Amino acid sequence: MAEVSADFRRIIDEHRQEFLNNTWLPLARSLEKDLVLWRFRGRLVSTSHTASFFLALPPQSFQKLDVLGPEVRAIAVEQGSYIAAAANGLPWEGRSFLDAVQKTDLTEKEVRAEKHYQRSFDPVLPEEAKASLTAMTCALNTVDLLLADDTGYSSAFSVWKLRYIVLHHVLSSLRKLDEQHGAELRPPDRALLKEILNAPTSILILQAHGGFRNTLMHYRPERRVEEQLSLHAPFYGLLDAYFPADEARSLGDGLASHTAHVADRMHAWSGG
């Protein structure tokens, strides 16, 4: 988590330098903003700091929408071309979550980063750690809210996989946070963190064989489990290959609800 926090420290400082203290009138400087919040149906799904971290966008990209829009579109086009090539012309079946998105679902707000992070999470945490936790909250809200509108059978496993990968990343990071700062947190914040980490599904994900997560990420199952896999089995047989039957069933059926639970707790901890 130290490397990620260092990246967010750099991003926060770069955005602060770019967007603050630009007006010649000292009284107007309090009105300057250096952080953009994007919400989907009231939940945070991205910030300008988060976008800079994941997309390597410089602060200048957020000056105007006519600059940011083409840059994000270019990234989307490149990713779409890669997916189309990987799918080898496989047609899309049914509706995607984008079909259900309305313009009114999305809102944008500019704020002062310092004040926003002061109200977020536990006061003992440094600003860069709060920015990292905010990025995790955005990822959870994205897979919980945005992807929930994708109910197509053909994409069900992909949606499940994205939820698992996000949860694995978030829970692993929260465990490191607990190790580094847990003893310093206020009792309510420590209790919330422990509630997330000690949930049975969280423990199952954190203790899972590394080969399972690596297969989901890189599409290359270990040779020792290849004979157990099938294109016709639920989750292609991966869950049964790596987990006992009861745990496989619990993960398969309960991952969506656990994602929603963790997203809700992180939303509450972030202060909304």
Q: What proportion of the chain, given as a percentage, has pLDDT over 90? A: 49
Tell me whether residue 227 is in a domain: no
pLDDT score, position 235: 86
Tell me how far the alpha carbon of residue 191 is from its chain's centroid.
Answer: 22
User: Does residue 83 belong to any structural domain of this protein?
Assistant: yes
233 in a structural domain = no
pLDDT digit string, tens, across residues 150-199: 777 777 888 899 999 999 999 999 999 999 998 999 999 999 999 999 99
Tell me what pLDDT residue 109 has. Answer: 94
Q: What is the mean pLDDT of residues 24-29?
A: 70
User: In the chain, where does DSSP find H-type helix?
Assistant: 2-19, 48-55, 65-87, 113-118, 127-141, 156-181, 187-197, 200-206, 210-218, 238-242, 245-270
Quote the pLDDT of residue 67: 79
The verdict on residue 222 lying in a domain is no
Three-state secondary structure call for residue 107:
strand
Question: What's the rounded mean pLDDT across residues 6-33?
Answer: 84
Give just the sign of the alpha carbon dihedral 126, 264, 98, 107: negative
**Residue 64 within any structural domain of the chain:** yes
- Count of domains for the chain: 1
Long-range contacts of 180-183 (CB under 8 A, 24+ apart): 180/1, 181/122, 181/124, 181/125, 181/129
Q: Which residues of 239-272 are buried (b: 16+ CB within 10 A; e: fewer)?
A: bbbbbeeebbebbbeebbebbbbbbebbbebbee
Strands, E assignment, 57-176: 106-111
Coil, strand, or helix at residue 248?
helix
H/E segment holding residue 48: helix 48-55
Cα separation, 251 vs 208, whole angstroms: 11
Residue pLDDT, tens place only, 36-91: 999 999 999 999 999 999 988 889 888 877 778 888 889 888 888 888 887 776 77
pLDDT value for 223: 84
Q: What's the gap between Cα 263 and its chain centre?
A: 10
Q: Grade residue 97 by pLDDT with cuts at 50, 70 and 90.
A: confident
Tokens of 227: 């004979």
- Judge whether 141 lies within some domain: yes
Is the confidence at residue 92, as pLDDT, over 80?
A: no
Nearest-angstrom CA–CA distance, 188 and 26: 39
Question: What's the CA gap between 224 and 214, in Å, rounded?
Answer: 14
pLDDT at 1: 67
Q: What is the pLDDT of residue 144?
A: 93
Token code pair at residue 132: 């990292």
| Mean pLDDT over the full length of the chain | 88
**pLDDT (mean) for 247-256:** 91
- The predicted structure's pLDDT at residue 148: 82
> What is the per-residue pLDDT for 12?
95
User: By residue range, what is the domain housing residue 111?
Assistant: 2-208+243-270
33 touches 111 (CB < 8 A): yes
**Within a domain: residue 236?**
no
Q: Is residue 237 part of a domain?
A: no
